[in-house]
Amino acid sequence: MRIAATVAAIWVVGIAGAAMAQAQGTQCANPNALGIARTVEIDTTAGPGFGFEQYKAHDFLLLKEVVFTFDDGPWPNNTKAVLDALANHCTKAIFFPIGKHALYHPEILKEVAAAGHSVGGHTWSHANLSKGKGENAIEEIEKGFSAVKLAIGTNPVPFFRFPYLQDPEAARTYLGSRNIAMFSHDLDSFDFKMRKPEDVVKSIMTKLEKKGKGIILMHDFQQSTAKAMPELLNELKAKGYKVVHMKAKAPVTTIAKWDEAAKGEIKGATPGGDRPTASVVRTIEEANTNQPVAAKK
Ligand SMILES: [Zn+2]
């Protein structure tokens, strides 16, 4: 009985502690951090769409709630600056990396995933899926997810954003069949057209004041965005906005064929290149190193 009582008490303390940490953002060194107001779990079965620019089925954000999304990374310096700014505000985002970039800079994307952000897919090569044949769209989608998986070492979340927001019906149907959610946006920062960080902040704040809430489209690939992040987050906090973190109920399951195709894209890759070197190269004969080396003349 005593043991049972102790276990029950620990359980209650554990719940209280976790709830308090969530409510007060404990472990966050910044007293003016945005933090995370709400974490939502998305059941991606049949490929639901989010972001009213294109998909209007699920209006789940409350007034003043925002979701951060970052496209086209990972990229040296800029992605890291975005990560640092988010970490300083103890908050989270969704990243939609390009497959090729994921394989150029896997160590950066690993950091994104390790920080607890949701990492989805944005095609292999940022192709416009409205052009070309359907088969090409499947390859772009799948190889993109496989490349992200290869970079982060774990299955990505089944969240996808179409490059240029070009979403042909066949590709949407395919994503539905793969239980991958589609992300448009409520608010496009157009950060890729801006060189000055202050313009990025102004663009987002002005649009947010009109709409009151929304999924925000930004690019961690862009230097202007990377530089704008600290000020943007400070302003959002000052104006009373709240961050919603979107997670997936279950990860995407990549397809072996495309995992192999992504592996083949790694520079210098050869068949069997992913086997541990020790199982490929074995020393079978070695000179006796105990023998005295001839003295140098
Ligand atoms: Zn993009």
Residue among 77, 73, 94 nearest 147 (CA): 73
| Assigned architecture for domain 39-261 | Alpha-Beta Barrel (3.20)
pLDDT in tens, 110-119: 999 999 999 9
* pLDDT for the residue numbered 292: 55
Q: How far is the CA of 294 from the centre of ligand 1 (A)?
A: 63
Kindly give the interhelix angle for 106-114 and 78-88, rounded to the nearest 10 degrees. 10
What percent of the chain shows pLDDT beyond 70? 85
**What are residue 40's phi and psi, to 5 degrees?**
-115, 145
Burial 134-143 (b: 16+ CB within 10 A, else e): eeebbbbbbb
Please, what is the angle between helix 78-88 and helix 223-238, to 10°?
Answer: 10
Question: How many Å lie between the centroid of ligand 1 and the Cα of residue 153?
Answer: 23
Ligand 1: centre distance to CA 164 (Å) = 6
For residue 14, pLDDT over 50 is answered with no
Distance 122 CA to ligand 1 centre (A): 7
Residue 75 has pLDDT above 90, yes or no: yes
Mean pLDDT of all residues belonging to the chain:
89
Rounded to an integer, the average pLDDT of 64-87 is 98
Q: For the residues 55-77, what does the mean pLDDT come to? A: 97
**pLDDT at 67 > cutoff 80:** yes
d(CA 293, CA 277): 30
What is the DSSP code (8-state) at residue 121?
B
- Between the CA of 228 and the centroid of ligand 1 the distance, in Å, is 19
Mean pLDDT of 199-219: 98
Q: How far is CA 147 from CA 89, 97, 141, 158, in A?
A: 29, 10, 10, 14
pLDDT tens, position by position, 240-284: 999 999 999 999 999 999 999 999 998 766 666 667 778 888 888
Q: How far is CA 29 from CA 26, 162, 230, 261, in A?
A: 8, 36, 15, 43
Phi, psi angles (nearest 5°) of residue 155:
-65, 135
Question: Once rounded to an integer, what is the mean pLDDT over residues 8-29?
Answer: 46
pLDDT band of residue 47 (cuts 50, 70, 90) is: very high
Mean pLDDT of 101-115: 97
Q: Give the distance (Å) from ligand 1 centre to CA of residue 165.
A: 8
